[in-house]
Amino acid sequence: MIRKIYPQILAKPVILIYLLPIVVLIPFIFLYGFRVPIMDEWPIAVIFENIATGKAGLIDFIEIYNDHRYFFLRLIIVPLAFLSGWNKIYEMLISLIFAIVNLVLIIKISQYQNHKIYSSKLFHTVNGLSCLIMFSLIQYQNWLWGLQLGVFLVNLCVTVSLLILSLNQKFCERQRLLFAALPIIIASFTMAQGIISWLAILPSVFLMGKNPKTGLKYALIWLGLFGVTTIVYSWGYNSDNPTRFNIAFFIEYPIFCWQFFLIMLGAPLAQYSTQLANLLGIIVFFSFIVAIIRGWQTRGLEFLRIIAPWIGLGLFALLFAIITTFGRAEAALILNQGLDFALASRYTTNSLLLWIAVLQIGLYFLSQDINITRWKWKLSSVAILIIFLTGINSVHAIEQGAKNYRKVSEDTQNCLKVLQVLDDRVPICWNWFEILQSHDITRQ
């Protein structure tokens, strides 16, 4: 079936463009991925113990933790833990699957928009670069930590929703609105950034209408669903949750916050340098804004309707960067981490979507240009630059994996063994997990 849908992609040697980043990523996960639970993963163990003692309930899955409602994430992790003995590698492989499906859907949207050049080198160059960015090793904090599969699930849900809204020939507008809301509901109760996806996709919902009046009606319905979801999400939210929005801080340090925001946007291609990330953040941010405005001025509302999926994808990355800046910039300054905090690898999985959006909007512009050859050298320069920067990022990621992640995984596993020897209060559910030897064997 996939061969019928993507015959050009599966043809040699084109398929190598898409497979190579994935082939590099798989051994990276197996070599450096955390084999045992760490940090925020341990509260999930309470659910295992409640299941073992027959006390588990819905509240165990839906309760809020660190600003997130991990409901659908826990629905994946808990059964998978019992099936795999809580071997965290399986969770990382699920993350990889989510990312692969996400890429396939992005290519599908691109195919709808650029069907005339679907088999061209231009199409595969841009989508190959999108693939390279999406599977970049610089996301190592998410690739190597099983709990972060929620990040990839949220991104996938956003893309699914945008794809559904663009299927104007297969479903009526009301059906698309309903079906597009379902993955966003899943995203909302997977991680906190899922909530902002409602706002990111709002322009696509408005542009779905045949006229502004109809579009406004759908947008109001969408905002109503967003409001209901937010109210449900906020239930039980209290002051113990960590995120604080200090408006006074942003008034006092506007330049620092602006740089923090831009560095997050540039980090997917320059995670090792705040200066370079800042520069790249400026480039990708204004490229996105200028491309949309320029296209609208020259081609009208129809242009916005065509590129609506990329507007939504880019807005999701921007809103994530804004919310993270509000929630983390002050802490970065207090902890003396400064702008380096914005380079955190775990943020790049969301911010890289802006780069993909800009590439795809650029592809649409190029596909409409009769004289594509005049852009050939410019596209080649961009491709070489992205490949070069991604290569440097990959070296940095491998160094981090070898230096820190493998050691932390081994040390954590040793600590768990010592704990079993020193403490007789081992939870019942631990006997089910392959990550640990049995209590008696460890004592021997």
Summarize the confidence of residues 74-94 as an average pLDDT.
Answer: 85
Structure tokens at 4: 């019928």
Q: What is the pTM of this model?
A: 0.87
Residue whose pair of structure tokens reads 């019992």 in the numeric block: 82
Most confident residue range from 18-22, 71-75, 83-87, 181-185: 181-185
Residues 119-135, mean pLDDT to the nearest whole number: 89
Cα–Cα distance, 134 to 268 (Å, whole number): 9
What is the C-alpha separation between 357 and 353, in angstroms, rounded? 6
Report whether pLDDT(23) > 80: yes
pLDDT for res 27: 92
Residues contacting 40, CB < 8 A, separation 6+ = 65, 66, 147
Q: What is the pLDDT of residue 9?
A: 53
Name the residue with higher pLDDT: 429 or 115: 115
SS3 54: coil
pLDDT tens-digit series, residues 358-409: 999 998 888 876 555 666 677 788 888 898 998 888 888 888 777 776 666 6
Closest CA relative to residue 176, chosen from 168, 186, 188, 185: 168
**CA geometry: angle 27, 30, 33, nearest 5 deg:** 125
pLDDT at 444: 46
The mean of the pLDDT values for the chain is: 82
pLDDT surpasses 50 at 237: yes
Provide the residue count of the chain.
444
Beta bridge partners of 65: 68
E strand or H helix that includes residue 369 = none
User: Which residues neighbour 323 within 8 Å (Cβ) at sequence distance 6 or greater?
Assistant: 193, 196
Tens digit of pLDDT for each residue in 287-336?
Answer: 999 999 998 988 888 889 999 999 999 999 999 999 999 888 777 777 77
HSE toward the beta carbon, residue 367, CA cutoff 13 A:
26
Q: Are 21 and 352 in contact (CB under 8 A)?
A: no
- The region of weakest confidence among 225-234, 266-275, 427-436 is 427-436
Q: How many CA atoms lie within 13 A of 409 on its CB side?
A: 22
Kindly write down the DSSP assignment for every residue of 142-187, as one continuous string: HHT-GGGHHHHHHHHHHHHHHHHHH-TTTS-HHHHHHHHHHHHHHH
Look at residue 133 and tell me whether its pLDDT is greater than 50: yes
SS3 call for 381: helix
Mean pLDDT in residue range 410-420 = 58
Tokens 């929630």 sit on residue: 327
The arithmetic mean of pLDDT across residues 49-61, rounded, is 72
List C-alpha distances in Å: 181 to 87, 254, 306, 318, 425: 33, 35, 20, 20, 45
Q: Are 343 and 274 in contact (CB under 8 A)?
A: yes
Distance CA 150, CA 147 (A): 7
